Amino acid sequence: MKNLALAALLSAAAATSAFAGGKNEVVMEMEPVVVVEETQQTSSAAGVVIPLLFIAILAAASHS
């Protein structure tokens, strides 16, 4: 009985490894989708305001 179970197990293992990777992948040809996002326009001075405020606070703190 043990030999029969072992034989069944080994044959099942051999059968599954024989088909491993044997399937072809499904190739679906799709056109790429172009996504366009509108950006919010900001002034060029927006990136300068915070560093200038930081420098002004440091200067005020150093004079005190």
The alpha-helical segments, DSSP class H, found in 1-64 are 2-18, 46-63
Gyration radius (Cα) of the chain, Å: 35
CA 11-13-14 angle, 5° bins: 65
Tens-place pLDDT, residues 45-60: 667 888 888 999 999 9
Angle at 63 between CA 58 and CA 64, to 5 degrees: 100
Q: Kindly give the parts of the chain with pLDDT less than 70.
A: 13-24, 41-46, 64
Domains in the chain: boundaries: 1-62
